[in-house]
Structure 1
């Protein structure tokens, strides 16, 4: 197979291009290609310098995360990057698009760095429960100091090229042709210009000049982490701080070894495995197989039928997200009342008067333009109004085969509502978990006949509103989280714990509170694990039943839904992942024991458990 790394020599400069679509991830093939290209360039007497670039839109968006599931293959990232840094000829990185994770670590190992104005640079490993494992925690603080390095690694957020230049992470931002400028600088350096000797990040001292300032930043980071219970329970941020401190206290090679040990320990941890699972699950949920070749498309304009509380909340969320809204009410007086509700919601979210005004300008009453030009029309009448079916039928007739028609009805079955519609393939259900303006989850439902374009429109709306969208019919989040709360109620009824103790255990694990309006009690750490276990078991079992009913296509989608609605911690991976990590045989045995002692209603194992355990399989095999 052809190497994903291309090498050609132009006027004494080895042009090394990573060509591994779509994002030039640092796979084993790319690492081998880089190793060989650098070896050949350094051995070639005609080459005076090297330039490393990315093909397409990105320099390199990081590691091939799927490779983290097993032991690392040589050459490891750090082995390759150390080889590049040790090159006796100047190496210049030309960074366009994303340079994230291993991609940024590669750039840091180069001797000089140029970036395009739109480049994004970051070390997001902490979001996967990891530390940068190829020199990121050692080179970065040497270049920019502890405070900035901690900010980059603990938030995981990318920075702009200008910000990176200001910090000293890159040497310049190139407004013109990045590749040509990178090659020109490499050629100049190779010919002895601009201080052309290799300038290695391992030798940088700018960030280490004041040890007291460095250690003060470390101390502040530790104190802030300890003060935030949600972050304090995460393992990776603590190790990031330790590794960055190691850049000050340890020789460079010892610091690299310390960093790699931390990376490997975290890679094998349950937290990191869970976070990596969620990383892939969220991407799968955003592009479910049922959409086929269709991509979720955000509606440019939505129609909202009904200006009561749900309709006003949807209109406010959509207009606040930059969508045009057409608001339909029965008369002008009701329309003005609805607009007042929308404006109050927008103002109550802390927006400036100017931002509120801009959002309100995107909302027009249907008396102005009707529902023409809408991509999505959402009916928002209360379920108990008794008018929902007739209204949907009239809207379906009015809209024809144009806009997607949706309902906020929380009915567990859309089939009855879809039956009289003229275009049932363009009909979906939208279920926000919690108030629309605060929801993190939008469940998009459809009958068997719902079309991929309509479902994609619902998922596109979720993305436009900044929510996690999942395909689910009937809605699953309330049912699965309700099973967990039922287990907690049973614990209290049986005298196993108080409501306050269970709340404390749930909150400490990251599942919110089992009982609203009830405080927290002090609970020993060993007892917390025992108190959350029934809730986790019940949610996993309820999720398996939802799978059996075909409510969702994959167990991973359930995990995404439960995390997005706040019912399960992200670092726990969701109830289905939790059950698999515990061992499905063990979970099935506990469910059977509880069914015998506590009753079958909540605890009778879903049929998939026996099937998967018998065949030694997991949820992904269903």
Structure 2
């Protein structure tokens, strides 16, 4: 066999008799960057011109087939040749071209495979078209070629979900032609030989006809419109897939128009910001230092949070010693954990064997002394400083040297907790969000004396648990709850001034939130906010301020805590929330007591005030260093507070409004309430300099 020749740095061509082997070697994931596109174009052209091969096989070096676009090209002017042009050239090749898929073939990588004349997947491979997760659609023929091979219904499922599909399912549906085992180059040679021997059929996908299925298109469009009424790209995906019944060149024109339309929406920018932001939050020096062992974790508290944290650790393969003060509480905790793991099995997240193995790693105990050998303790008890101080004082004498002591507090001062120990360097906050085994956010709170390796271990834990770890500094509520505490007041003010709780919820759900703030409060438990407001009053944290909790306090004093009591802002007797008519009576009393004459308020005004309040406190959080960068605030709200992902986060959204407009809004609102509405200095400076939060992210 002749040695391979390099077309460029990432593409080589080898020959074995009548077989030509094109190898893509563009680490780490063989992305379809300019050099790959250029090299493929030159290789296919050269092989067709010299006629030296009767079949061409494309395979990849390394751990995967082409796993998508080159993210380094995002936001930059496109460089020729376009992927679409290269794939058209591959499909038109006079010499049959086959692709050998191993690892993952995603986005442009799977579109590359679709343009070849046969696809062979190596066992364990996965395929997918995840562009919808970025507010886009497959733009290099994916919406046109996949339906020709696998039909409209399955193509709608794959493209609209963005999911990764196992090779066996792809084979069953016709998206690949064979599933086999072996090393990519050897499989490429064997499959190419089968083409020569007539054992593996090849054909141009463009020459296949998509079977029309208007019902599937109509049903899917209705479903996505109902499920995600705010999103633009799902409808465009359906429109493009519908065009696959046309000749390929005509369908490609529709796909291109739909792709460009998606590119021009703000949603695309927001979703790409979310994509990169998820990776950026851990790309900081604090997350990359030396770490400590995480072989065994201790969790104190078997309630909702402790059980969820334990479940998350067990699902990640980390043994847990669960501590409760009494046997009945421990039994309830174990039962909850078992139920959580059973739920994971029923949802297909884990096998029953893995569930059993996870439960075998759980060691329940009512003796805190059993934490003597764990590497990390996560305290998850009632949100009272006195209780937490007592626990950490005990842990200081029980836990081994170097063990990390973490509190799952939502608001409380980590430094005061650390002061109860002789090892403040080992103490940090790990603020999980409920349900802890589902929610992906983990605020990692750095105390004044937290050691660098303890902090880095917090990020390592987040990675092991599949969570988005965000660094936060100590303050009341850290990043998320501090901001929530501020904008939660404006929701109360809006209701006091004339809107109903339902109108506020409806307006914000129309903006893109999955649930409005009053439904969220009912779900979380209104007593939590009540206790926090009472604590802040006692500690003098809200001096001389219009008290926003008056209506909420009246509701709680009635014993209405939301879903768990069947009544809050809404009634839950029939399951779905129905506005609680008694809240209107309490609201009228509140307005009378405060001397407020209610006024009509538009949905847009509600959204503007709510979002401006959120952005204002978020700017202060960045200004005083509680959050390291604006993107950290955005990821906290995307992964912990239900902020609409397509809007990118509160500070990304702020850039779409502009600092100058935000300052003008705040100054207008301040005429009504100068204490609450104050322009953050950072925002005022940004308005003067014409800068954005995106600029601050680049500088950090």
CA shift at 1:322, angstroms? 4.3
How far does the alpha carbon of each residue in 1:128-169 deviate from its partner, in whole angstroms, 9 at most, with x for none?
Answer: 111100000000000000111011001110101111111111
Q: Does 1:137 align with 2:143?
A: yes
C-alpha distance in 2, partners of 1:577/1:219?
34
Superposed displacement of residue 203, structure 1: 1.0
SS in 2 for 1:32: helix
Contact 1:298 1:459 in 2 (8 A): no
After TM superposition, list the pairs within 5 Å mapping 1:552-571 onto structure 2.
552-571=627-646
1:315-347 CA distance string (max 9 Å, x none): 3443455432112345xxx14531333314543
Task: Report whether the alignment pairs 1:236 with 2:266.
Answer: no
**Cα separation, 2, equivalents of 1:591 and 1:419:** 39
Structure-2 change in CA distance of 1:201 and 1:438 (3 Å): closer
| 1:551 matches 2:550 | no
5 Å-filtered alignment, 1:26-41, equals: 26-41=32-47
Residue of structure 2 equivalent to 1:277: 273
CA deviations 1:242-301 (Å, max 9, x no partner) are: 1111111x2210110110111111112101110000000011124433223558x99442
Which residue number corresponds to residue 256 of structure 2? 260
Distance 2:451 2:47 in 1: 54
Matches within 5 A, 1:8-47: 8-47=14-53
2:665 equivalent to 1:603? no
Q: How far apart are the structure 2 equivalents of 1:47 and 1:424?
A: 69
User: What secondary structure sits across from 1:599 in the alignment?
Assistant: coil
Match of 2:361 in 1: 362
CA distance in 2 between partners of 1:429 and 1:170 (Å): 48
Tell whether 2:665 aligns with 1:590.
Answer: yes
Deviations 1:90-142 (A, max 9, x none): 11111111100000001101111111111110001111111100000000000
Partner of residue 343 from structure 1, selected from 335, 345, 348:
335
Q: Secondary structure at the match of 1:598?
A: coil
The verdict on how the C-alpha distance between 1:452 and 1:159 changes in structure 2, with shifts beyond 3 A counting, is farther
- For structure 1, list consecutive stretches of 5 or more residues without a partner in the other structure: none
Structure 1 counterpart of 2:286: 290
Deviation at 1:194, TM superposition (A): 4.0
Q: Which residue of 1 aligns with 2:470?
A: 470
Residue aligning to 2:242: 245
Instruction: Return the alpha-carbon distance in structure 2 between the equivalents of residues 159 and 388 of structure 1.
Output: 46
The superposition leaves residues 473-514 of structure 1 with CA deviations (integer Å, 9 ceiling, x where unpaired) of: 23211222333332222223333x332211101112222212
Provide the aligned C-alpha RMSD in A: 2.9
Q: Which residue of 2 aligns with 1:376?
A: 376
Greater shift, 449-458 or 42-51, is seen at 449-458
User: What's 2:502 paired with?
Assistant: 500
Deviates more, 1:570-579 or 1:305-314: 305-314
The Cα shift of 1:199 comes to 1.5
Q: Is the aligned partner of 1:612 residue 2:614?
A: no
2: CA distance between counterparts of 1:590 and 1:304?
46
Give, in angstroms, the shift of residue 438 of structure 1.
5.5
TM-fit CA distance, 1:468? 3.3
| CA 184–582 in structure 1, closer or farther in 2 if over 3 Å, else same | same
Q: For residues 312 and 167 of structure 1, do their structure 2 counterparts lie closer, same or farther at Cα, with a shift above 3 Å needed?
A: closer
Encode CA deviations 1:491-549: one digit per residue, 9 max, x unaligned: 23333x3322111011122222122424689xxxx954443121111111111110112
- The one of 102, 111, 121 equivalent to 1:115 is 121
C-alpha distance in 1 between matches for 2:376 and 2:101: 40
Q: How far apart, CA to CA, are the structure 2 residues paired with 1:620 and 1:289?
A: 20
User: Normalized against structure 1, the TM-score is what?
Assistant: 0.89
Distance (Å, rounded) in 2 between the aligned partners of 1:141 and 1:293: 48
Q: Which residue of 2 aligns with 1:578?
A: 653
Give the alignment's TM-score, normalised by structure 2.
0.79
Sort the Cα spacing of 1:452 and 1:80 in 2 relative to 1 into closer, same or farther, 3 A. farther
Show CA shifts across 1:335-370 (max 9, x none): 453133331454378647978876543321356992
Is residue 480–residue 542 contact of structure 1 (8 Å, CA) maintained in 2? yes
Mapped pair 1:514 → 2:509:
no
Counting matched residue pairs gives 602
> Hey, what does 1:396 align to over in structure 2?
396
Shifted more, 555-564 versus 342-351: the winner is 342-351
Structure 1 distance, partners of 2:673, 2:128, is: 51
